[in-house]
């Protein structure tokens, strides 16, 4: 996992008032909503004697109370009350657990995972052209692999006629022109797909394929874990790859549409697309969970081909971010 990034880790509807414990980023975390409805996230282990805070309860004050001896945590991870010492007794600084800044938007929850966030940390990014006029439905699927493999699969244009030969890969377009890769900034790129039936002509190079209008079909990725299939102005598939640990991930996959925007009907139309999306996703999952090693890396001995260009671009930037985090660690 790349440190010092905003990661989508949950959907909003998973966090209600009472605490919920999940594993993300290789760690047990507890989420809850404080008195104002804001999502809080702490390491799910009491500083006192290690009990799971997610078994506790949220008090009227919005604090999370440990189920064992009743220590009360505020959203910053600080213990505000140690009941055995008396409610009015001051609590020393050392009574606190790791806290993760959170952000909620678009029905998703992000955490800032890494060191203390920098001064003036901005919110995480999303696809800004997906506005409130879109209706959507979500499916959640657990994959037994590292999240980097899940992401790479969504950037992989050569697998379509093989993995999805009876769904989105029909037509035998096995030859891959390009694909085109366009970086929008350091942490965001688009992929333009030019697959075709093999007629004997060699594939065009990535530099030879056009960069089309952004309103048309393309794939887009925002580091560290957000992807969209921009089907067109009216329809998108968005996937967030939440890291669970080194061998597991959860994908939140959404179909967005604005052909039909009457609220109830619009959501129903989006829901109707989900069985097909799940079928496609499971075609991917069947193969991707078999890849070894589970975690991808820039130098890992795979024998890549021209069509893997988007995957190489992903790995290159991922490596840069990992190295930058290591440098910061060394400098400490």
Cα-only R_g, the chain:
22
Structure-token pair, residue 45: 């282990």
User: Which residues share a beta bridge with 192?
Assistant: 180
Structure-token pair, residue 96: 């606190």
> Of the listed pieces 1-9, 60-68, 203-211, 281-289, which binds Fe ion according to CB under 5 A?
281-289
Report how many residues bind ligand FES under the rule CB under 6 A: 9
- Give the pairing of strands 27-33 and 175-185: unpaired
Cα 39 from Cα 164, distance rounded (Å)? 38
Q: Cβ closer to ligand FES: 40 or 66?
A: 66
Peptide bond into 136 cis (omega under 30): no
Cα 69 from Cα 72, distance rounded (Å)? 9
Q: Cβ closer to ligand FES: 44 or 284?
A: 44
Find the shortest distance in angstroms from Cβ 55 to Fe ion: 39
Peptide bond into 293 cis (omega under 30): yes
Q: Is 152 in the site for Fe ion (CB under 5 A)?
A: no
Give the up-direction half-sphere exposure of residue 206: CA atoms within 13 A in the CB hemisphere: 16
Find the shortest distance in angstroms from Cβ 109 to ligand FES: 24
127 binds, among ligand FES, Fe ion, none (CB under 5 to 8 A by kind): none
Nearest alpha carbon to residue 113 among 16, 24, 37: 24
Among 16, 69, 282, 328, binds ligand FES (CB under 6 A): 69
Cα 182 from Cα 258, distance rounded (Å)? 26
Neighbouring C-beta atoms of residue 139, cutoff 10 Å: 17
Q: Is 46 in the site for ligand FES (CB under 6 A)?
A: yes
Q: Is 51 in the site for ligand FES (CB under 6 A)?
A: yes
Chain centroid to Cα 183, Å, comes to 19
Among 49, 142, 286, 328, binds ligand FES (CB under 6 A): 49
Among 9, 15, 66, 151, binds ligand FES (CB under 6 A): 66
Give the per-residue contact string, 70-109, with ligand FES (x = CB under 6 A; - = no): xx--------------------------------------
Q: Cβ closer to Fe ion: 114 or 161?
A: 161
Q: Cβ closer to Fe ion: 44 or 284?
A: 284
Cα 224 from Cα 151, distance rounded (Å)? 9
Q: Is 313 in the site for Fe ion (CB under 5 A)?
A: no
Burial class (CB in 10 A: 0-12, 13-18, 19+), 310: buried
Cα 165 from Cα 171, distance rounded (Å)? 8
Q: Is 111 in the site for ligand FES (CB under 6 A)?
A: no
Cα 142 from Cα 252, distance rounded (Å)? 9
Among 284, 308, 310, 318, binds Fe ion (CB under 5 A): 284
Find the shortest distance in angstroms from Cβ 152 to ligand FES: 40
Q: Cβ closer to Fe ion: 48 or 173?
A: 173
181 binds, among Fe ion, ligand FES, none (CB under 5 to 8 A by kind): none
Query: By the criterion CB under 6 A, which residues form the site for ligand FES?
Result: 46, 48-49, 51, 66, 68-71
Query: By the criterion CB under 5 A, which residues form the site for Fe ion?
Result: 284
């Amino acid at each position: 996992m790349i440190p010092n990034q905003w990661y989508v880790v949950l959907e909003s509807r998973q966090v209600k008032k009472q605490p919920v414990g999940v594993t993300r980023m290789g760690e047990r975390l507890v989420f809850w909503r404080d008195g104002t409805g804001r999502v809080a996230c702490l390491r799910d282990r009491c500083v006192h004697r290690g009990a799971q805070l997610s078994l506790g309860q949220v008090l009227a004050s919005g604090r999370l109370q440990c189920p064992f001896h009743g220590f009360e945590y505020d959203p910053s991870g600080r213990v505000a009350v140690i009941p055995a010492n008396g409610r009015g007794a001051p609590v020393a600084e050392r009574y606190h657990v790791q806290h993760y800044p959170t952000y909620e938007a678009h029905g998703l929850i992000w955490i800032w995972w890494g060191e203390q966030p920098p001064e003036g940390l901005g919110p995480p990014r999303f696809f800004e052209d997906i506005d409130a006029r879109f209706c959507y439905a979500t499916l959640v699927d657990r994959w037994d692999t590292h999240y980097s493999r899940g992401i790479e699969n969504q950037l992989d244009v050569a697998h379509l006629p093989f993995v999805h030969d009876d769904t989105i890969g029909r037509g035998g377009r096995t030859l891959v022109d390009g694909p085109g890769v366009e970086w929008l900034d350091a942490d965001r790129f688009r992929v333009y797909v030019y697959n075709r039936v093999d007629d004997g002509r060699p594939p065009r190079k990535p530099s030879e394929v056009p960069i089309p209008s952004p309103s048309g079909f393309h794939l887009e990725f925002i580091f560290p874990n957000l992807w969209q299939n921009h089907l067109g102005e009216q329809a998108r598939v968005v996937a967030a790859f939440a890291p669970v640990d080194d061998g597991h991930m959860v994908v939140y996959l959404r179909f967005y549409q604005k052909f039909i925007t009457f609220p109830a009907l619009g959501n129903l139309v989006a829901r109707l697309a989900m069985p097909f999306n799940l079928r496609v996703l499971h075609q991917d999952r069947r193969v991707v969970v078999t890849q070894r090693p589970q975690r991808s890396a820039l130098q890992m001995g795979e024998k890549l081909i021209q069509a893997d260009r988007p995957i190489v671009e992903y790995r290159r930037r991922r490596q840069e971010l990992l190295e930058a985090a290591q440098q910061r660690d060394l400098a400490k």
